[in-house]
Structure 1
Amino acid sequence: MAQKFRSCANEFCDSVSKISDAQYLIRKMRYEQALENEVNLRKNFRVAAEVIRIPVVVHVIHNQINGQIAGSNIPDEQIYSQIKVLNEDYRKKVGTLGFNTNPVGADTEIEFFLASIDPSGNPTSGIKRVYSPRASFNIVNDNDRLAMSNLSYWDSNKYLNMWVAPLSSGYIGYGEFPYSESVEGLDIDSDERTDGVFIDYTTFGRKSGTNQSGIYSFGRTVTHEVGHWMGLYHTWGDERCGTDYVSDTPVATTSNSSAFCRDVFSNCTGTRTRNMIENYMDYSPDSCMNIFTEGQKQRMRAALDLSKRRKRVLNYAKFQLPPSTSLQVNFENPLPLTNPQFQILLPDFQDFTIVIRDIFGRIVYNQSYVDLPSTVITLPKGNIIPGVYILSVTSNQQLIQKKLVFY
């Protein structure tokens, strides 16, 4: 097989949208303004970073009629290695290829794990294998991406979907950008069924299965495309001396599209500067890559919070509780409770309100929750003294009341 060179379909799709959609650039600028505001808000209020965990489902679209693990039906070990690479790269793990000593190099505090619960609430490995007789898919074609999703898809409000398949046209990856469904009025071209990343099976994982050699055998194609899924552009902004809206990545004339890790220089500002070819959002070979910057970290984390769908994924990841056909309230421990904690089970993402009253009917706790899946609620310690209470949970005109006893 001839060596493929890193060719990310995002660049092509972006260029097509600029030509075919008169409103595309307007929506893009509105998103950038909203994202800039979000980044500044987080800085001004010194929002403390917490480790974000993202549940992943890997859909292996293969052409093995008998289902054997061969060819595009990649082995589990190859998938596990890819999740490991993502965590090394996004956490800048010491002792791995994802570590760097660059002063602007960031631990993004973002982690990934194979989903343990499927959309029906059943245990899962986070890997789905689906046969297709097609020899390949063209990911710059909207219909082909949808065809892959139609073969296998999990709710993109709950999971990061990764489709791994034979890809054509020289493209080895594509990551759906979040801006079309992030800001009020920008959701007209957002298709949640194709929200995720699409990766060629020969560049998925690290030196195992179908990706054992070559310049893209370290798993960085997925690192790159997930960066797009979290709102990052290419470092050169997809045009000569373009912008990626990140201040600590040097302005670059173009990508590093060679098969080497040699230095590349630009002269975009009147001064000759070195390109950050080791940045995951360049086109460099995998062995060159080892950095997300602090600015990219702030942008990704702000994008995850700004995007309604991305934020839902993060909320779902925290709880990983099964959906319910109707509102349910379950205590995780028998009464009386020493730890004020209970499960709220919901059919889907819903708003709900919790009210706790003492035996005289006085409200001691009243809190509304917005757009959450089934979740675990932990009441703030010290808010409720030992005693007997009535818990009321309301959602979508359903009301459940239960007796609470704390000691």
Structure 2
Amino acid sequence: MKKRILSVLFFIFSFQSFAQHIDRCPPSMGKYPRLHELLNSKIEEKKNARKSANEGVVRIPVVVHVIHNNANGALGGTNISDGQILSQIEVLNEDYRRKIGTPGYNNHPDGADMEIEFFLAPIDPEGRETNGINRVYSAKRSFSVLSDAYNLSDLAYWDSNRYLNIWVANLSGGYLGFAEFPFGNFEGLELQEVDEKIDGVIIDYRAFGRKMGAVEEPYNYGRTATHEIGHWLGLIHIWGDEYCGTDFCDDTPPAESANRTLTCNDILSNCRVRNSRNMIENFLDYTVDSCMNVFTNDQKARVRAILGISERRKQLVANADLFFEVQEPIVVKVLGNPVVGEHLECKIQVNQARDYSVEIVDPLGRKVYSKNFTSAFGQILKIPKKELGQGVRHLKVISGNLQFNYRLLVL
């Protein structure tokens, strides 16, 4: 009986300690008003055009890098299970699709189906089959979201132009997670672009997934990843990271500050309207997981605007078809011909794992580039233009008795 009482007391202490010192993430990007003005102009353009290139369901390939300190590789603790990871992907799809019959559904009049779906990547950067889970041992016991992004990336990183990198680790400093905002040069608005090596999302292992394994209350519904990926897609906190600030979304009521309550009781603010109710159910607040289930229509419009102007987000979405089955044995697409940038980009899709080779020859038939792939799936090749020289070149993709030829002009 004494042992049971001690166990209960330890659980209560752990719950209170974990919950009371936690913030979901550092302040987001509310301090860049020119960026948000640009986004709003793009939203208006989209409304007037009625159609856009990124309309409809968008699918995003994910790699989960599990950074753990179990030297023998055993599951447990920071080396979370496949099941815990799969539960998180399930939560993301419930939340971003406002899926009926799940905790992600809501009947809020401003609630939106974001029309974004996530899937664990079935192909790694080398074109090999994978389950989208990458486990890496590190003797470092904890990581700071403020200073260890490059340390995490050095341990594990896949091309952020093709994958959403999610690093799951033991986080210090009282934060559950962090996400890189989609900065860059947006049509003349020059902001420091995020280094592609750290462009992704970082989540504490105790807040990744739903009600299983190492997940701890009250952050056990998987909403930390939903929240952080919202930042990665261009959303900011609903209080704008300042007293009665703005998130540039008209359908999220102004709030005095973050809602850090451990309950789902109504909270009132005195901003532009006295005693207005905070949208505590919004995924971009700080409320605990069980309160959250709403993205709004204006938040959806902002995300779609970001997908239209952020070059890296645009490229990732455009490259998602790399992971889908094709009817032909091999499909080859050259991204940009004539070749004017620093690289020739070539997208190869296959209907099953196969051996193939890629060659580039000059007009005299001399090879200027060649690479062989064994039992490989689709991938994107980025070949430095300096290796090709200038002028006419011929690209060949060969697999058994199949051969595909493309004429290139390298400027």
Tell me the TM-score normalized by structure 2: 0.77
Alignment CA distance shift 1:237-1:95 (3 Å): same
2:103 aligned to which of 94, 97, 121: 97
Give the corresponding residue for 1:83: 89
Is 1:243 the equivalent of 2:246? yes
What residue ranges of structure 1 are gaps of 5+ in the alignment? 16-24, 323-329, 334-341, 354-369, 377-394
Aligned-partner residue type, residue 160 of structure 2: S
Q: Distance in 2 between matches of 1:131 and 1:214?
A: 26
Select which of 55, 76, 82 maps to 2:61: 55
AA of the residue aligned to 2:92: L
CA contact (8 A) 1:4 1:170 kept: no
The CA deviation at 1:270 is 3.9
Give the CA deviation at 1:403. 9.2
Per-residue CA deviations over 1:205-255 (Å, capped at 9, x if unaligned) read 0011101x4110000000000000000000000000101011111011111
CA–CA separation in structure 2 for the residues paired with 1:14 and 1:230: 12
How far does residue 189 in structure 1 lie from its aligned partner after superposition? 4.6
Is 1:146 aligned to 2:119, yes or no? no
Q: Is the 8 A contact 1:319 1:375 kept in 2?
A: yes
4+ residue segments displaced more than 3 Å: 180-185, 370-373, 395-404
**TM-score under structure 1 length normalisation:** 0.77
**Structure 1 residue 4 and structure 2 residue 7: aligned?**
no
Question: What's the offset of the Cα at 1:200?
Answer: 0.4
Look up the equivalent residue of 1:283 and give its one-letter code: Y
**Mapped contact 2:227–2:283 kept (Cα < 8 A):** yes
Aligned: 1:221 with 2:224: yes
In structure 1, what is the equivalent of residue 317 of structure 2? 314
1:352 aligns with 2:337: yes
From 393, 399, 407, the equivalent of 1:398 is 393
Which of these residues, 294, 306, 331, is aligned with residue 343 of structure 1? 331
Q: Which residue of 1 aligns with 2:379?
A: none
- CA RMSD in angstroms comes to 2.8
Deviation at 1:182, TM superposition (A): 4.2
1:233 is matched with: 236
Say which is worse superposed, 1-10 or 296-305, in terms of deviation.
1-10
Count of residues in correspondence between the two structures: 339
The aligned residue for residue 114 of structure 2 is 108
2:74 aligns with 68
Percent of residue pairs bearing the same amino acid type? 47
Supply the distance in 2 between the matched residues of 1:89 and 1:244 (Cα, whole angstroms): 20
CA displacement, residues 287-337 of structure 1 (integer Å, 9 cap, x when unaligned): 000000011011111112211000111011122389xxxxxxx9926xxxx
Q: Assess if the C-alpha contact under 8 Å between 2:29 and 2:236 holds in 1.
A: no
Letter in 2 for 1:332: E
Partners of 1:182 and 1:111 lie apart in 2 by: 25
Q: Name the structure 1 match of 2:399.
A: none
Q: 2:317 corresponds to which letter in structure 1?
A: L
With over 3 angstroms needed to count, the CA separation of the structure-2 counterparts of 1:59 and 1:265, relative to structure 1, is same
* Farther-moved stretch of structure 1 (270-279 vs 229-238): 270-279
SS of alignment partner, residue 34 of structure 2: helix
Residues in 2 aligned to 1:271 and 1:202: alpha-carbon distance in whole angstroms: 38
Q: How does 1:2-401 map to 2 (within 5 A)?
A: 2-5=17-20, 6-11=22-27, 28-47=32-51, 49-141=55-147, 144-180=148-184, 182-184=186-188, 186-211=190-215, 213-320=216-323, 332=328, 343-345=331-333, 350-352=335-337, 374=347, 397-399=392-394
Q: Which residue of 2 aligns with 1:389?
A: none
The amino acid of 2:393's aligned partner reads Q
Alignment gaps of 5+ in structure 2:
1-13, 350-382, 386-391, 397-403, 407-411
Question: Hey, what's the Cα distance between the residues in 2 that align with 1:84 and 1:320?
Answer: 19
Question: Structure 1 counterpart of 2:331, which letter?
Answer: Q
Distance 1:373 1:99, change over 3 A: farther
Secondary structure of 1:111's aligned partner: strand
